[in-house]
């Protein structure tokens, strides 16, 4: 699992690549990234592309914010990113993964 970030100079966005290893996806057919950036709408989740070793997706997020997210496996099972920037407690007794898109350029 990993979250890789690239801060673009040409526009104020952070390109975030989410990656969930197939081993962590329990033989999933589909994996989506769902979070603050799509209002936690399962239907608007970003579909991740299956490669030989992982499911991946790249999303452009507005800089200057932190975003909570989770992986949705086969529309029924939720998984956090074990290498997220942070974790945030929820009222549902679980934590969400957090990716920080604060501009790190001085």
Q: Which CATH architecture is the domain 2-100 placed in?
A: Sandwich (2.60)
Strands (E), the chain: 2-7, 13-21, 31-35, 46-47, 49-50, 54-62, 66-73, 77-79, 86-89, 95-100
- Of 81, 76, 77, nearest to 54 by C-alpha is 81
Q: pLDDT per residue over 32-91, tens digit each?
A: 999 999 999 999 999 999 998 999 999 999 999 999 999 999 999 999 998 999 999 999
Q: pLDDT per residue over 32-42, tens digit each?
A: 999 999 999 99
Under a CB-based contact definition with an 8 Å cutoff, are residues 66 and 86 in contact? yes
Tell me the domain boundaries of the chain: 2-100
**Distance spanning both ends of the chain, measured CA to CA:** 28
State residue 1's pLDDT score: 63
pTM (two decimals): 0.89
């Amino acid at each position: 699992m990993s979250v890789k970030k690239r801060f673009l100079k040409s526009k104020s966005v952070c390109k975030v690549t989410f990656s969930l290893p197939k081993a962590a996806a329990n033989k999933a057919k589909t994996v989506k990234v769902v979070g603050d950036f799509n209002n936690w709408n399962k239907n608007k989740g970003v579909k991740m592309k299956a490669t030989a070793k992982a499911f991946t997706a790249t999303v452009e997020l507005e800089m200057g914010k932190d975003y909570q997210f989770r992986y949705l496996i086969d529309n029924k099972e939720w998984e956090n990113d074990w290498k997220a920037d942070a974790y945030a407690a929820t009222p549902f007794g679980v934590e969400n993964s957090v990716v920080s898109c604060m501009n790190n350029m001085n």
